[in-house]
Structure 1
Amino acid sequence: MRRAWTPLAITYLVISVAGLVGAMAFNVLAAVQMVDFLAAWFANGPAVSSLTVDLLGVAVAGSILIVVEARRLGMRFSWLYVVGSLVTAFTFTFPLFLAMRERHLATVAGEGATVEG
């Protein structure tokens, strides 16, 4: 069986490469400037920019995953997790989506067991 590159797979790949290039550019800049990378996270400079690119890439890919997975599973209002991440934080909304996804899957599995049993 041939494994095809779907549009979604290509989208994730592009986000991945953009994240690598963006984060590594700032990492190299920090190394060239001989910046204490961990200490610079709490200050300013290339380390903060690298972290920003890193988190932005994860948030974009995660937002796409939320919408696609919610549609696949028949979960409603998935867009609220994406919008919620803009007004709160992705570190809140993504695990919240994962929790609701697990709850949805357990409910669906329970309904299947009830029908069969």
Structure 2
Amino acid sequence: MRCHARPYRTGLHFGRNCRNRQLEKPIVLPCVIRSKETTVQRNSEFTTYFNTWVATELGYQGAPLEPESPILEMGLLDSLQIMQLITALEEREGLSIPLEEVVEENFQTPAAVNAMVTRIKAQP
């Protein structure tokens, strides 16, 4: 029988052998593997939501925004509209955006807003 490549805990030390399997318990290591494709898909989904929000809340009728569209440079959001967006994101995602995250670089593009939301959701 082959040993598993996963480390096992035996007493107070760690080993990779399969002896005394009755006494060994596998160590569960939490890890998140995110592929670039998943990130692209997440950005695309968020950009679709963002385009809908901009059209309904701000009355924007221009071309659909891309994940890297410079929304602040376009003059699309001012400080009041950023606060409206934060409220909408908090309701949609079920989270609270800390005041420290409300900085210009987090609202430069739809992808930056999405990255901020993803980062906040990942925090314990």
TM-score, normalising length from structure 1?
A: 0.29
TM-score, normalising length from structure 2?
A: 0.28
Name which one, 1 or 2, has greater alpha-carbon Rg: 2
- Specify which structure has the higher proportion of helix: 1
- Specify which structure has the higher proportion of strand: 2
Higher relative contact order (CA 8 A, sep 6+): 2
